[in-house]
Amino acid sequence: MKAIAVSPRSALQGKMRLVHQASLTALICAVAATAWAQRTPGPAERPQETPTGTTGTTPLPAVAQIGPAREIKLAENTWFRFGAQVQAWFKAAQDRILQPDGSDGQYALDFYCRRCRFFATGSVVKDVFFNVLFESANVGKGNNDGTKGSAVGATAGSAVPQILDAYGQVKFANEFWLSGGSILMPLTRNGLQPTTTYVSIDVGNTSTTPILQGNSNVLRDLGIQANGFFVNNHIEYRLGVFQGSRQAAGPLQTGSHNAPRFVAMVSANLWDPETGYVNGGHYYGTRKVVGLMGNFDYQVFRTNAPAAPPFTAGTGVGADKNAYVGVSGAAFINYPLNGPNPRGGDEIVGLLQFGYYDGGVRGTYDAATATNFGTYPLVLKQTDFLAEAGYYNHGLRLSFFGKFEARKISEDYDVAFRQVAPLPSQWWAAAGLKYYVAFPSNFMNFALQYERVNNFDAPSSQQKGTHNITFQMQTLLY
DSSP β-ladder status, 398-409 and 261-269: unpaired
Cα angle at 444 between 443 and 449, to 5 degrees?
125
End-to-end CA distance of the chain: 78
pLDDT at res. 422: 83
Predicted TM-score (pTM) of the model is 0.82
Can you tell me whether residue 209 is helix, strand or coil?
helix
Question: How does the average pLDDT of the chain come out, rounded?
Answer: 85
pLDDT at res. 19: 42
3-state helix, strand, coil in the chain (%, to 5): 10, 45, 45
Give CA–CA dist 83/117, Å, rounded: 8
Type of residue found at 299: Q
Among candidates 469, 465, 463, which has minimal Cα distance to 451?
Answer: 469
Max mean pLDDT range (214-218, 403-407, 412-416): 403-407
User: For the CA atoms of 406, 411, 412, 415, what is the dihedral angle to 10 degrees?
Assistant: 110
Query: pLDDT tens across 25-82, in order?
Result: 444 444 333 333 333 333 333 333 333 333 343 444 444 555 566 788 888 899 999 9
Query: pLDDT tens across 414-449, in order?
Result: 988 888 888 889 999 999 999 999 766 678 999 999
pLDDT at res. 58: 41
Can you tell me whether residue 335 is helix, strand or coil?
strand
In the Cβ-directed half-sphere of 129, how many Cα atoms lie within 13 Å? 15
pLDDT at res. 282: 94
Burial of 367 (0-12, 13-18, 19+ CB in 10 A): middle
Give CA–CA dist 179/162, Å, rounded: 20
Query: pLDDT tens across 354-382, in order?
Result: 999 999 999 889 888 889 999 999 999 99
Strand ranges inside 126-246, DSSP E: 128-139, 162-173, 176-184, 220-230, 235-242
Q: How far is CA 9 from the centre of its chain?
A: 73
pLDDT at res. 82: 92
Among candidates 82, 137, 90, 139, which has minimal Cα distance to 473?
Answer: 90
Can you tell me whether residue 157 is helix, strand or coil?
coil
Has residue 287 got a pLDDT over 70?
yes
pLDDT at res. 64: 52
The full DSSP string for 2-27 is PPPP--HHHHHHHHHHHHHHHHHHHH
What CATH code is assigned to 88-120+160-477?
Answer: 2.40.160.10
C-alpha distance from residue 12 to each of 3, 15, 22, 24 (Å): 19, 5, 15, 19
